[in-house]
Chains A and B, each alone.
Chain A
Amino acid sequence: MSLLQVKALRRDYGSLRAVDDVSFELEAGTILGFIGPNGAGKSTTMRIIATLDTPTAGEVLLDGQSLVDSPDKARPLIGYMPDRYGTYDDVTVWEFLDFFARAYGLKGAARHKRVASVMEFTGLNPLKDKLTSALSKGMKQRVALGRTLLHDPKLLILDEPADGLDPRARIELRELLRALADQGKAVLISSHILTELAEICDTCAIIEQGRLLATGKVADLLAQSQASGGTELTVRLAAGADGEAASARAEKLLLEQPRVGQVAREAEALRVRLELEPGATREQVDEAAARLLAALVGAGVPVCAFSHRELNLEDAFMTVTKGRVA
C-alpha cells in the first residue's frame, strides 16, 4: 500500500476552486515532483497534506490513516518545509535545531543525540555555533531541512526547496534528498526548475488550474509527451556546399518521405518534425530517423550532422499544460 494516498481532493475558497479532483499516490522511498504554474494549486494541495488546511471534499490517507479526520495523529509523520526557510535571528544553528527538537517533545540525551545526528546528516556541524542570520541561502536551506528531519517523519513535503539556490547548493540538496529517499522516506517536492526535478524525482504530477493533468514516472511522461507532440530532428548540411540550393533540395526530399510532418529551414540547418502513431516506442522513432538519413545520403545531400533532440520535463510540461491559472 502507498504511504500517501490523495483521493479526489477538492478545495474551494468561496466561488474559487483552487484544487479540483486531485488524486495521486506516493510510495515510501520515492520522490514525487509536483509541477505546475503559479496559482495552479500546488501549495494548497501541499498545505492540505501538511494538515495546515482542510479540504472541501476528498480524502488524504497517510499510512492508511485519514489525515483529514485525525490531523493530530498524522502530524508526527510529516515534515513540512514551506517556500520560506523560517529561521530566527540571534539564534545559533545548534540552538535553532535544539529549540525545534524541544518543541517536538524530545528530551534530554535523546534530544542531544537527534540534533547531533541531523547536523551530521545535513553537514551543519562546522556551523554549529554560527548565528542563523549570518548563513548563506544554501546553508539556511540546510538548517530548514534539518528542522524537518528532527522528529524523523515518514513523509517530507518540500515547497520550492531549490528556489534561489546556487548550482552547488542545488546539487548538494539533490544528493541529500536522494539519501533521504534511500532511507525509506517519501518526498513530495514542488519546484519551478523542471530540469532539476527530472533529475531528482522518480515520479511527477503536473497540475494546472487545480486539476491534475498528468501523473506517473518521469520516463513515461516524456514518452507520452513525445507521442503527442512528435519528435524533432536536426539536419545540418556541410558548409561550402551550394548552400541555398542544397537546403531546398533536402527540404523537398524530406517532405516526400513518409511520417514527415513539417520541415523548417533555419540558417544552417533543417528542423524536421516526425509524426508518429500515439504510443510509438523509442525503436520506432529511431527506425524512422534512420530511414530519413539513408534517403538524404542516398540522394547525395551533403549531410554533416544528423541529431535527434531529446525531450525533457520542460517539454512534457509545456505539452500538457496550457498556461492557465485558476
Chain B
Amino acid sequence: METGARAPLSERLGDRINPLVVKEIRQGLRTRLFWVCFGLMLMACVMLSLTAYADVRDSGNQPRGQVYFFTYFVCLGLVHFFIIPYSAYRSLAREREDETWVLLALTGLGPRRILRGKVTSFLAQAALYASAVGPFLLFSYYLNGIDLPTILTVLMLGAAWLVFLTVLGVCAATLADGRLGRAFVHFLVLGLLAGAVVVGLTSAFGISEGGSRLMREREFPYVIAVVLWLMLSYGWLLFEAAAARLALITEDYSRGPRRALVAQMLLSAVGVAVLWWRQGQEREVAAVAGIAGCLHLTVTGLFLISDVDGMARALRAKTRGWSLLRPGAVRGFRLMVLLIGGWALFCCALHLLSDDTQHNWRSMLYATVAAAAYPLLYFSVALLVAKMPRSERMTSPAAVRVLFIALAGLASVLPPLLAVLMDEEADNGLINLLNPIVGLVNFATHENQISAPKMTAGMLYFLCGVAALAAFAADRILVERERRVHAS
C-alpha cells in the first residue's frame, strides 16, 4: 500500500538543518543592516577596482596587487571582524533580554545546539559577504605583487579570526544578567571588537606586506599553527562556557567546558612535546610551556573552582567520586588540582629528559613547580575563606573570584613592603616565599655568582607542602558544604 508521497529534497534537507540557522538567516536577510553593509561593501569594491584599473594603466603595469588586496580585505574585514560578531552578540543578548531564551531551552534543543545554530547562521551570513568580495580578491592577484600562498594564508587566518570573534560575541552575550551589567558588557564588546578589527587588519597588512619573505621563514608555519590552535581551542572553550552559562540548572552544564579544558590541555601537551622534540629537546620549551600553561589554568581554574555547591537532584544519582566533569565546586576544584598538577608533572618530565648542558636548569625546574603551587595555594585559601564560615555571604561564584584576586593581590604587594620595613631587599626570598609574583620570579632566578638557584629546594618543598595542605583543607570544606546542600 502507498504510504504517502516522499517530501521534496529541499524539504528533507531543511528538516536536517538546525532550526536556529533557518530562523536567523530568515531574520538576518530582512534586516536593513545586512543590505546596507552588503551594498556599501560591494560599492566600495567596485570603486576600488576602477581605481586599480586606472592606477595600473597609468603606472605602466607596475605590480599593485599587494596594495589592492589589502584594501579589499579592509572592506571585508570591517564586516567580518566587527559587524558579524557584533550582530551575533546582539542576537543572543536580545534572546536573553526578551526571555525568548527560556522558550528555546524548553524545546529540548539544548544550549549547545542553540549556540551552534546562532554561530553557524552568522557564519553563513559572513560567507555571503565573502562571496561578494571573493572575485575582487582574486582580481588583486592578477594585478601582480602578491602570491597565492600569501592570499590563502591571510584568508585562512581571517576566517579563523572571524569564527573566534563570533564565538566571543556569543559568549559575551551570556555574561551579564542585570541591566547595568549588560550595558557594561555592551561597551566592552564594542571596544574589544574595535581592537579586534585593528589587530586583524594589522596582521593582514603585515602578512601581505611580508609576503614571500615570511613564507620562506622556518618558524612561520609554527607561528601560524600556534595562532590557529589558540583561536580554535579558546573558541571552543568560550563556546562551551557560553553553553554552560545558558544551560538550565537541571542540566549537566559543567560537562562541556570541563571536557573542552581537559581536551585543550591534553592536545597542548602533545603539541608541546612535538615542539620540544623538534627544537632539539630544549629546556626553555618545557619552562615556557610550564609557566604559560599554569597561568592559563589559573585563569580558567578560577571559573572552575567557583561553581556553586552541589547539583540538581536529577544529576546526583549518576554522579560518582570520579565524575569530575559534573557540576559542583568540589568536583571543579579537584579537576583543577589534577590539571595543574598533571601539567606541572608533564613539564617537569620534559625538563628531566632535556639536554643538561644549561647551567640554570634547576631554577627553570623550580619555576615550573612553583607556577603550579602558587595558584593551588591561593585557590585553596580563597575557598577556605569563602566557604568555611557557615554564613552564605561570600559563597557566590563572583565572591570566590573576587576573594582569590584580593588574596593573591595582597600576597603580591604586602611581603615586599614588609621586607623594606625590615631593612631587607624588597625581593627577599624568604619573606616573599608565599608571594605569587615575586616568589615565582625568585624561583626562576639563577645566581650567577654562586652558580646556583636563588631559592633552595627546601623552600620549594615548603611551598608545595603548604599548597598541598591548603588544598586538602579546601577539599574537605567543599565536601562538607555539598553534603549540607544535598541534605537540605
Q: Could you list which residues of chain A lie within 8 angstroms of chain B, going by C-beta atoms?
A: 12, 14-15, 50-54, 56-57, 68-72, 75-76, 78, 80, 82, 84, 86-91, 95, 99-100, 102-105, 107-109, 111, 147, 151
Contacts and interface: CB of A to CB of B under 8 A. Distances in A.
Given A86-B98, A89-B27, A54 B314 contact: yes
Given A95-B26, A151-B107, 9 more contacts: A15-B392, A52-B106, A52-B248, A69-B313, A69-B314, A71-B248, A99-B19, A99-B22, A103-B108
A15 B392 CA distance: 8
B471 to A, nearest CB: 27
Given A75-B106, A76-B108, A84 B248 contact: no
Interface in B80-106: 98-100, 102-106
B488 A108 contact: no
Interface stretch (B7-15, B142-150, B231-239): B7-15
Interface of B: 4, 7, 11-12, 15, 19-20, 22-23, 26-27, 30-31, 98-100, 102-109, 248-250, 312-314, 317, 392, 488
A156 to B, nearest CB: 13
Contacts of B15: 102, 107-108, 111
Contacts of A89: 27
A54 B108 CA distance: 17
A68 B313 contact: yes
27 contacts: A12-B488, A15-B392, A51-B106, A52-B248, A54-B250, A54-B313, A56-B488, A57-B488, A69-B314, A71-B314, A75-B108, A80-B102, A84-B98, A86-B100, A86-B102, A86-B103, A87-B100, A88-B27, A91-B23, A91-B27, A95-B26, A99-B23, A100-B103, A102-B19, A103-B108, A108-B15, A151-B107
A108 B103 contact: no
B26 A103 contact: no
Nearest to A86: B100
Nearest to A95: B26
Q: Say whether chain B's binding surface is mostly helix, strand, loop, or mixed.
A: helix
A71 B108 CA distance: 10
Contact of A104 (B12, B27, B30, B108): B108
Contact of A108 (B11, B100, B392): B11
Contact of B23 (A72, A75, A95): A95
A51 B103 CA distance: 12
B107 A90 contact: no
A108 B9 CA distance: 11
A214 B430 CA distance: 69
A259 to B, nearest CB: 50
A76 B248 CA distance: 16
Contacts of B109: 103
A91 B314 CA distance: 36
Nearest to A14: B392
A68 B102 contact: no
B26 A86 contact: no
A54 B249 contact: yes
Given A89-B27, A147-B103, A105 B248 contact: no
Nearest to B91: A88
5 closest residue pairs by CB, A with B: A102-B19, A103-B107, A86-B100, A90-B30, A71-B250
A200 B336 CA distance: 55
Nearest to A148: B103
A322 B392 CA distance: 30
A88 B90 CA distance: 13
Nearest to B103: A86
Given A75-B108, A103-B19, A90 B27 contact: yes
Given A89-B27, A109-B7, A52 B314 contact: no
Nearest to A91: B27
B19 A50 contact: no
A93 to B, nearest CB: 13
- Tell which of B12, B105, B108, B109 has the most Cβ of chain A within 10 Å: B108
Contact of B100 (A88, A104, A109): A88
Given A71-B314, A80-B106, A91-B27, A108 B12 contact: yes
B99 A86 contact: yes
- Tell which of A53, A71, A103 has the most Cβ of chain B within 10 Å: A103
A53 B249 contact: yes
Contacts of A102: 15, 19, 22
B76 to A, nearest CB: 25
Nearest to B23: A99
Contacts of B98: 84, 86
Contact of A100 (B26, B99, B107, B317): B107
Contacts of A90: 26-27, 30-31
A90 B99 CA distance: 17
A70 B251 CA distance: 10
A140 to B, nearest CB: 12
